[in-house]
A and B are shown apart, each in its own frame.
Chain A
Amino acid sequence: MAERHEIRLCGFGGQGVILAGHIIGQAAAIYEHKHATFIQDYGPEARGGSTRADVVVSDERVTYPYIETPTVLLAMSQPAYDKYHPQNHRDALVIIDAELVKPIVEAGKKVISVPARRIAEELGRTAVANSVMLGFFTAATGIVSPDAIKKAIAASVPKNTIELNLKAFDRGYAYGLEHSEAR
Chain B
Amino acid sequence: MSQPRHLAGEFFLSGDEACAEGAINAGCRFFAGYPITPATEIAERMSERLPEVGGTYIQMEDELASMAAVLGASWGGVKAMTATSGPGFSLMMENIGLGAMTETPCVVVDIQRAGPSTGLPTLTGQGDMLQARWGSHGCYSIIALSPDSPQELYDLTIKAFNLSEQFRVPVLIMSEAATGHMYERVVIKSVEELELLPRRKPNVPPEEYLPYQPDDDLVPAMASAGEGYGFHTTGLTHDERGYPAMSVEAQDRLIRRLVDKIEKNKDAIIELEEDGTENAEVIVCSYGISARISQMAVQMARDEGMKVGILRLITVWPFPDERIRGLAQTARAFVVPEINYGQIVREVERCAGGKRTVLVPHMGGTVHNPHTIFEAIRQAVK
Interface residues of A (CB under 8 A from B): 22, 25-26, 29-30, 35-40, 42-44, 62-66, 159
List the A side residues contacting B313 at CB < 8 Å: none
Contact at A25–B12, with CB atoms within 8 Å?
yes
Contact for A26 among B12, B123, B177, B295, CB less than 8 A = B12
- Expressed in whole angstroms, the minimum distance between the Cβ of A147 and any Cβ of chain B is 16
List the B side residues contacting A64 at CB < 8 Å: 292-293, 296, 370
Contact at B296–A37, with CB atoms within 8 Å?
no
Contact at B183–A43, with CB atoms within 8 Å?
no
- The answer to whether residues A63 and B12 also contact, given A29-B185, A37-B182, A42-B38 and a CB cut-off of 8 A, is no
List the B side residues contacting A36 at CB < 8 Å: 12, 184-185
Instruction: Count contacts on B: residues with CB < 8 A to the other chain.
Output: 22
- Expressed in whole angstroms, the minimum distance between the Cβ of B152 and any Cβ of chain A is 12
- Expressed in whole angstroms, the minimum distance between the Cβ of A144 and any Cβ of chain B is 13
List the A side residues contacting B68 at CB < 8 Å: none
Which residues in chain B, 225-244, are within 8 Å of chain A measured between CB atoms? none
Contact at A30–B11, with CB atoms within 8 Å?
yes
Contact at B182–A65, with CB atoms within 8 Å?
yes
Which of B12, B185, B299 has its CB near the most chain A CB atoms (within 10 A)?
A: B12
The answer to whether the Cβ of B367 comes within 8 Å of any Cβ in the partner chain is yes
- Expressed in whole angstroms, the minimum distance between the Cβ of B42 and any Cβ of chain A is 15
- Expressed in whole angstroms, the minimum distance between the Cβ of B100 and any Cβ of chain A is 33
Contact at B181–A42, with CB atoms within 8 Å?
yes
List the B side residues contacting A66 at CB < 8 Å: 366-367
Contact at B292–A63, with CB atoms within 8 Å?
yes
Contact at B296–A39, with CB atoms within 8 Å?
no
Measured between alpha carbons, how far is A36 from B123 in the docked complex, in Å? 21
Contact at B181–A30, with CB atoms within 8 Å?
no
Which residue of the partner chain A has the closest CB to B120?
A43
Contact at B122–A22, with CB atoms within 8 Å?
no
Contact for A29 among B12, B121, B123, B367, CB less than 8 A = B12
- Expressed in whole angstroms, the minimum distance between the Cβ of A165 and any Cβ of chain B is 16
